[in-house]
Amino acid sequence: MKTVETDLLIVGGGVAGSALACALRDSGYWVVLVEQRTGRLDTARGDHLQPCTVDALARWGVLPRFYERGAGRRLGHEFRSQTGESLLRADYSELPIPHPYFLVYDHDLISETFLDLASEGSNFDLFRPAVARDFKVVEGRIRSLKIRADGEDVLIKPHIVVGADGSNSIVRSALDFATFEHAYHHPVVVLLSPRPTRLVPDNYFFRYSGPDGVLGIHQRMDGQIKITLPIGAEGIPWWKKSSKEDRACALGRRADILKGCDSTVAGFYAARMIRAVDNVSGNVVLVGDAAHSIHPARGQGLNMGIANLQQLIDCLPDVAEVSRAEKVRQALLHYQGQLRPLLDRTINRHHQAATEMDVDMGAGTEGAALICKHNQKIREINARPELRRMHLLEVTGYPFGAPSEAEPDYLA
């Protein structure tokens, strides 16, 4: 059996794991990544990188590579009533932040780009496809992982293990991390459609809300739009069987602008929150959905998986000390302590937004009244400068203030 010793073992090459491998290229740490997939990730997930995530890409020196591969920019967003009345319209240039825009890049391309960039480094091994399941855990630390790759058995002996293996994380299970879980009532359906020509500007995100419910419209790299909405009493079977006309009608009830649109169903997602109570244990740290998988209501799960990585890197022991178990334990605990205030706040705010989106709809129901109240709240945010600024800071990933104003310990 081949034995590979490494400083960091990353399990999972979705956006979180691949971004970490990319950020660590040429850092001096030896990095091994194990990914079970052969194909690409599902394109219908997060594809808008927040300004704070763009800042991380710029610091890692890889931002130009995303533009070379066709990334676009989203400059603002507008919340509208179902008839198109503007409730709140904001441009990110209102904030003093280094990159006042979202980077628009298809989900399935994000991890492929990060992995390509990581592979350009001199200290990186990628095992793909290879499934991680055979861990040896001694005294609360993962000492080794046995995999089968390219027809041979490989024993990987890491100093640090990063669980980046998504919401059903096997790394999380291997160390018995406790989790908090919450299931929302309504699963989410994602549809793709050509962009209606009346939907302007073409570099904004739109959210429509009215008596028949809420939906979000992301603009994609390919000129299409991605429509995300919670499924109501009609249920998943209805969407599966629905004709183009059925869908146009259902979407048109929620947003006038989508009347007659030609959509296809891209996927269904059980809406649930799974949060590891601790992010670290022994020599293991969880990142991305393995640590916190959240409802897609505010479209930030992807970003939470990338934006915190620089904090983790900054906390790692020096390369010369990474083999010392106590140094690793202290470093990971320090990371968890730094991360907690931001994480707690972000997850709580997500839960609030998810709950607002998760109401039962239908004429005359309590749900319609709630949406009406919610729209009123959005108008108020728009009208009051301090609320509007807070809203924009949260959306762009700087809930504690723009980098020049934030608390020093929040800054990565």
Ligand X SMILES: Cc1cc2nc3c(=O)[nH]c(=O)nc-3n(C[C@H](O)[C@H](O)[C@H](O)COP(=O)(O)OP(=O)(O)OC[C@H]3O[C@@H](n4cnc5c(N)ncnc54)[C@H](O)[C@@H]3O)c2cc1C
Please name the residue ranges forming H helices in 319-400.
Answer: 325-357, 366-383, 385-396
Nearest distance, CB of residue 354 and ligand X, angstroms = 12
Kindly identify the residues of this chain, within the stretch 209-238, that bind ligand X according to CB under 6 A. Answer: 228
- Going from the C-alpha of 62 to that of each of 49, 69, 110, 116, 203, the distances in angstroms are 14, 11, 12, 11, 22
Identify the three-state secondary structure at position 228. strand
Please select the residue that binds ligand X; options are 36, 119, 179, 365, rule is CB under 6 A.
36
Nearest distance, CB of residue 310 and ligand X, angstroms = 16
Binding window for ligand X (CB under 6 A); candidates: 127-135, 360-368, 376-384, 396-404:
127-135
**Separation of alpha carbons 271 and 279, rounded Å:** 21
Nearest distance, CB of residue 226 and ligand X, angstroms = 8
Please select the residue that binds ligand X; options are 6, 10, 12, 20, rule is CB under 6 A.
12
Identify the three-state secondary structure at position 138. strand
**Separation of alpha carbons 412 and 408, rounded Å:** 9
Nearest distance, CB of residue 210 and ligand X, angstroms = 21
Q: Which is nearer to ligand X, 133 or 244 (CB)?
A: 133
Judge contact between 127 and 147, C-beta under 8 A: yes
Nearest distance, CB of residue 58 and ligand X, angstroms = 18
Work out whether 144 is an interface residue with ligand X (CB under 6 A): no
User: Which residue, among 149, 145, 151, 143, has the nearest Cα to 127 in the 3D structure?
Assistant: 149
One symbol per residue from 286 to 325: x for binding ligand X (CB under 6 A), - otherwise; what is it? --xx------x--xxxxx-x--------------------
Binding window for ligand X (CB under 6 A); candidates: 55-63, 86-94, 130-138, 151-159:
130-138
Q: How many CB atoms lie within 10 A of CB 39?
A: 7
Supply the DSSP string of 257-320, one letter for each residue: GGTT---EEEEEE--EEEEES-SEETTEEE-GGGTEE--GGGS-HHHHHHHTHHHHHHHSPPGG
Binding window for ligand X (CB under 6 A); candidates: 7-15, 65-73, 392-400, 402-410:
7-15
Q: Which is nearer to ligand X, 97 or 368 (CB)?
A: 97
Q: Which parts of this chain interact with ligand X (CB under 6 A)?
A: 11-17, 34-37, 41, 45-46, 48, 131-133, 164-166, 170, 188, 190, 228, 269, 288-289, 296, 299-303, 305
